[in-house]
Amino acid sequence: MGAGERRRLACTTCRGIVDRFNQGLADTAKKNFGGGNTAWEEKTLSKYESSEIRLVEITENLCDSSNFECNNMVEEHEEHIEKWWFKLKKKYPDLFKWFCIETLEVCCPPGTYGPDCLACRGGSERPCHGNGRCDGDGTRGGDGTCSCNKEYTGEFCLDCSNGYYSSLRNDTHSVCTACHTACKTCTGSSNKDCQDCKEGWIKNEETACVDLDECASSPCKDEQYCLNTDGSFSCKACDASCVGCTGEGSDKCKTCASGYTKEDEKCTDTDECNLSEKVCTKENEDCVNTPGSYKCVCSEGFEDKDGTCVQTVKTGKEVETETTEPSHTEHEDL
Ligand SMILES: [Ca+2]
């Protein structure tokens, strides 16, 4: 860990301690207070308010036991905290400022950075002109440079990034707004304000960037159709019933695939099993129609053996089942 990184961590640790201290203050605020308004209660409360008991209760919970840096810092600066509690908290009510910035000198005021708390780029009032983050802001680390939000660029986050244009600019403020989706760079909000078109867009006669119809140049494969979209295009698979197509579905085929016939402008599956000429010609064979084809399978009770359908040989168990007494319902069927 570098020195700058250690300084950042020290500030984070100190901030955590102060946050827990303030939480402790809130948690103990109503303690020993019955909710009534008796003089006795008022007196007890005001006594407890600045008591050592309350301080101990709060400081006990400043760190998680596993947080080495935190426990170390509290231990090392316990006296400072006590001094602030008993003598200084009226004069310096902001514990973070007094403890972390001014006493321990591990943090800096907001908008400043580094060992000497110098102002961030663009000034401590609005670091990076409010359009980015100042490196080390509020800590004794960092170098004060700006990391700009995506809309902004430049040392001070005043300039606009590619794809954004300046919609407001004065001495103190700079606002960059997104270009039209068709523009790579632009001077205004519409697609007529593009300097360069984004990929997939092209300048028309009115010099506006408009969608390029990539499908006009037939970029897809034989078994695909082209779908033009704003700024892009895609190639999609034709329906299984087509050989080549102009769009989605069996009604957009150029020609029908084998096993399909054109019917009502659609490529429809041919039912080979219903043709006048039988397609399954072997003995004990049935025809099963499938999309785009058909299958010849052995009839029930027969099985394929070396290309012919032979009667299924029953196993001993099946024979046994068949020879048992017919059940009541079977009997009724007879
Ligand atoms: Ca397009």
- Coil, strand, or helix at residue 227? strand
- CA angle 291/269/274 to nearest 5° reads 100
Residue 73 phi, psi (nearest 5):
-70, -40
The pLDDT value recorded for residue 221 is 94
Q: How far is the CA of 39 from the centre of ligand 1 (A)?
A: 81
Q: How far is the CA of 60 from the centre of ligand 1 (A)?
A: 66
Q: Where are the beta strands (DSSP E) in 161-213?
A: 164-169, 174-178, 183-186, 194-197, 201-203, 209-211
- Coil, strand, or helix at residue 226? strand
Residue 326's pLDDT band (cuts 50, 70, 90): very low
- Of residues 319 and 63, which shows the higher confidence score? 63
Q: How far is the CA of 86 from the centre of ligand 1 (A)?
A: 73
Eight-class DSSP state of 246: S
Q: How far is the CA of 181 from the centre of ligand 1 (A)?
A: 13
Is residue 230 scored above 90 in pLDDT? yes
Provide mean pLDDT across the span 5-28: 95
Is residue 315 scored above 70 in pLDDT? no
Q: How far is the CA of 151 from the centre of ligand 1 (A)?
A: 26
Residue 206's pLDDT band (cuts 50, 70, 90): confident
Q: How far is the CA of 211 from the centre of ligand 1 (A)?
A: 5
Is residue 320 scored above 90 in pLDDT? no
- Mean pLDDT lowest among 38-47, 130-139, 250-259, 311-320: 311-320
The pLDDT value recorded for residue 307 is 85
Q: How far is the CA of 202 from the centre of ligand 1 (A)?
A: 10
- CA angle 265/270/274 to nearest 5° reads 135
The pLDDT value recorded for residue 126 is 95
How far is Cα 321 from Cα 264, in angstroms, rounded to an integer?
Answer: 52
Q: How far is the CA of 256 from the centre of ligand 1 (A)?
A: 28
Q: How far is the CA of 214 from the centre of ligand 1 (A)?
A: 5
Place of tokens 């955590």: 16
- Mean pLDDT lowest among 8-22, 46-60, 154-168, 209-223: 46-60
The pLDDT value recorded for residue 33 is 56
Q: How far is the CA of 212 from the centre of ligand 1 (A)?
A: 5
Eight-class DSSP state of 116: T
- Of residues 35 and 78, which shows the higher confidence score? 78
CB under 5 Å of ion ligand 1: residues: 211, 228, 233
- Per DSSP, the residues of 79-107 read HHHHHIIIIITTT---HIIIIIIIIS--B
pLDDT in tens, 95-141: 999 999 999 999 999 999 999 999 999 999 999 999 999 999 999 99
Q: How far is the CA of 220 from the centre of ligand 1 (A)?
A: 13
- In the predicted model, what is the mean pLDDT of the chain? 90
| Strand (E) or helix (H) holding 110 | none
